[in-house]
């Protein structure tokens, strides 16, 4: 069985403790780190990491812990999908990935028989989510974890506001190359804009010119561009430069994109 881990813990002993708990329950399971450098408490960035990676895995249990509400009354979830089970807090972290893969059942984690005791109030990753994943690896049925629920928190990535010639979008994620992922679905951009046409980017006080292109190499060296990234969303990039630096955009920022009609 494969268990993936996505957290905002950094490369810390918190992650290692979760791995120890998992291996104590099933010494043969395969643990894969997805990301641990999610900005502390940034649920959207964590949701995006799960959304982009889970579909590439064979059947796996994906544990997500970006959990600013730990220790409060927020629920814990196990979301059963086609080819995957997601385990983590009920705060919007799991649902975009789960819906992409096809949700079959959402269970609230209420049965303490599958937790590690005493449960520390600030470390459900080690004491609730890892043990639940370990039990699922060793044959526990999802139905034993708790009751089905029908109202999991689902923030998606937000819906960009459609304007006459584009969108007011939100930044989901910025990678280390400075590529800025927006929440505009790629197919929608392809439906409204022509490849090769100019797009105006308004970010804070900056107004910048870019081209909507199929791939980086189709834009001049150093120029801003918009393209559909490998994740399926509209991305602001620069051919050989950092779009994040050029635009000043950061995760959760707002940006106005105005293109030529296709």
Could you list the residues that contact its own copies (CB under 8 A)? Answer: 2, 4, 8-14, 16-17, 19-21, 23-24, 27, 30-37, 40, 48-49, 52-58, 68, 71-72, 120-123, 126-127, 175-177, 214-217, 227, 229-231, 240
Task: Express the helix, strand and coil content of the chain in percent, nearest 5 each.
Answer: 25, 35, 40
Q: Which is nearer to its own copies, 57 or 256 (CB)?
A: 57
Q: Which is nearer to its own copies, 58 or 205 (CB)?
A: 58
For the bound state, the minimum distance from the C-beta of residue 76 to its own copies, rounded and expressed in Å, comes to: 16
The bridge status of strand 254-259 relative to strand 198-203 is: antiparallel
Of 69 and 198, which has the nearer Cβ to its own copies? 69
> Looking up tokens 């303490």, which residue turns up?
112
Residue number with CB closer to its own copies (185 or 200) = 185
Provide, rounded to whole angstroms, the least separation between the CB of residue 71 and its own copies: 5
**Residue 66 vs 107, nearer CB to its own copies:** 66
Closer of 61 and 107 to its own copies (Cβ): 61
Burial grade of 167 (CB within 10 A; 0-12, 13-18, 19 or more): buried
- Minimum Å gap between C-beta 60 and its own copies is 8
Q: Is 91 left (phi over 0), alpha (psi -120 to 50) or beta?
A: alpha
Q: Quote the least distance from Cβ 233 to its own copies, whole Å.
A: 12
| Closest residue by Cα to residue 237 from 206, 215, 205 | 215
How distant, in Å, are the alpha carbons of 51, 52, 81, 142, 218 from that of 96? 6, 10, 12, 20, 31
**140 close to 94: Cβ distance less than 8 angstroms:** no
d(C-alpha 252, C-alpha 247), whole Å: 14
- Report the nearest approach of its own copies to the CB of residue 130 (Å): 9
Backbone angles phi, psi at 98, to 5 degrees: -65, -45
- Minimum CB separation of residue 216 from its own copies in Å reads 6
Which is closer to its own copies, CB of 107 or CB of 226?
Answer: 226
Considering the complex, state which of residue 33 and residue 144 has its C-beta at the smaller distance from its own copies. Answer: 33
- CA-to-CA distance for 97 and 1, rounded, in angstroms? 19
* Shortest Å, Cβ 28 to its own copies: 9
Provide the minimum distance between the beta carbon of 147 and its own copies in the complex, in angstroms, as a whole number: 25
> Beta strand 60-65 with 2-7: parallel, antiparallel or unpaired?
parallel
Q: List phi, psi (to 5°) of 25.
A: -90, -30
């Amino acid at each position: 069985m494969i268990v993936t881990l996505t957290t905002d813990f950094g490369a810390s002993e918190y992650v290692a403790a979760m791995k120890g708990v998992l291996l104590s329950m099933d010494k043969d399971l395969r643990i894969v780190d997805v990301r641990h450098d999610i900005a502390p408490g940034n649920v959207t960035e964590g949701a995006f990491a799960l959304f982009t990676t889970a579909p590439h895995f064979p059947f796996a249990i994906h544990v997500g812990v970006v959990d600013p509400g730990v220790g409060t009354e927020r629920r814990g979830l196990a979301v059963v999908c086609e080819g995957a089970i997601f385990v983590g807090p009920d705060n919007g972290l799991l649902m975009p990935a789960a819906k992409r893969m096809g949700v079959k059942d959402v269970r609230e984690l209420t049965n303490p028989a599958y937790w590690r005791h005493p449960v520390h109030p600030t470390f459900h990753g080690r004491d609730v989510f890892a043990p639940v994943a370990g039990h699922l690896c060793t044959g526990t049925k999802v139905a034993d974890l708790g009751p089905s629920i029908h109202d999991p928190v689902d923030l998606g990535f937000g819906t960009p506001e459609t304007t006459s010639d584009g969108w007011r979008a939100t930044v989901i994620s910025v990678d280390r190359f400075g590529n800025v992922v927006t929440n505009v679905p790629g197919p929608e951009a392809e439906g409204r804009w022509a490849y090769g046409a100019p797009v105006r980017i308004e970010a804070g006080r900056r107004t910048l010119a870019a081209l909507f292109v199929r791939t980086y190499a189709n834009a001049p060296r150093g120029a801003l561009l918009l393209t559909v990234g490998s994740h399926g969303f509209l991305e602001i990039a620069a051919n050989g430069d950092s779009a994040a630096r050029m635009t000043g955009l950061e995760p959760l920022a707002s940006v106005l994109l105005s293109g030529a009609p296709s």
